[in-house]
Amino acid sequence: MPFKVLKNIALLSGAALALSGAAAADPDDNKLIIDGEEIATDAAAPEGSPFDRLYSGWRFRTSETQDLQADDFENPGFAAITLGEELWDTVEGSEGKSCASCHGDVSEGMKGVRANMPKWSEAAGKPQTLENHINTCRTDRMGADAWKWESEEMLAMTALVGLQSRGMPTSVQTDGPMQEWWEKGKDLYYTRVGQLDMACANCHEANFGKMIRADHLSQGQINGFPVYRLKWGGLGSIHRRFKGCMENVRAEPFKRGSDEFIALELYVASRGEGLSVETPSVRN
């Protein structure tokens, strides 16, 4: 049998064994308290959810990783917050404006914004992520260049904006013009892809809590993005995580900002309805 075929069989068998043989671990009972405020890391599952209860990925992490997120001085994601604050007040583009020119103080102007993303845009005729909204402001209102999806500037700004919603419950629109996109995202979530023939649901629904690659699988909630992953050594977007998951199952990933990933982001966000925004969260 050709080596490539043997290798693919080994990959398929290894993935199946890793999940089927792994011991499950319940989420811990620790409380995430930051500056005296408790952040909801569990919530009642919304109607139609496949879960009995929702749990943030924070509840599946090691105590050392949890401690990093619980202290803003220790949270490595806060280096990006400092940059984001500088960018917020920086005048750029042909219109001579900064973010603050239109939105004022970030703590007031951006409060609650992250909790409702993605959000329908009449102008675009489709849902827009936080990254989309930021670049629309830059190009249409400031006359500045758009930032790349995973650029240092974009991650800093999404982290800063997200921080203003920390502690607020996530809630996205799924009816009206969003319904078609939500259904598309749901279909993507349950579609098996790649050499390993796996869907998002195979890990984050059927096997959450099990150990794989020296880490516990979570429910795949996205309420903490952009997230500082110790593995990455920096912040990363939701779409970077989606791309990484697809690559892990040996599938051809969609592009960051693609309609497919926007639809998937909407659906996954709806699965976490009621969990608090944790931005910037820390994960293994």
Residues 249-259 have pLDDT tens digits of 999 999 999 99
Query: Is 103 assigned to a binding site?
Result: yes
| CATH code for the domain defined by 3-75+168-283 | 1.10.760.10
> Residue for token digits 């203003």?
164
CB 131 within 8 A of CB 146: no
Q: Which two tokens stand for residue 58?
A: 């924070």
Mean of the pLDDT values across residues 61-80?
97
> Does pTM top 0.75 for this prediction?
yes
Residues of the chain with CATH 1.10.760.10: 3-75+168-283, 79-163
Query: Is 213 assigned to a binding site?
Result: no
| Summary mean pLDDT of the chain | 92
Query: Is 256 assigned to a binding site?
Result: no
Query: Is 99 assigned to a binding site?
Result: yes
Which positions are catalytic?
245
Mean of the pLDDT values across residues 216-229?
96
Query: Is 138 assigned to a binding site?
Result: no
Give pLDDT, residue 211: 87
Fold of 79-163: Cytochrome Bc1 Complex; Chain D, domain 2 (1.10.760)
Mean of the pLDDT values across residues 144-157?
98
Q: How far apart are CA 16 and CA 195, in angstroms?
A: 12
Give pLDDT, residue 20: 46
Q: How far apart are CA 134 and CA 108, in angstroms?
A: 16
Give pLDDT, residue 24: 58
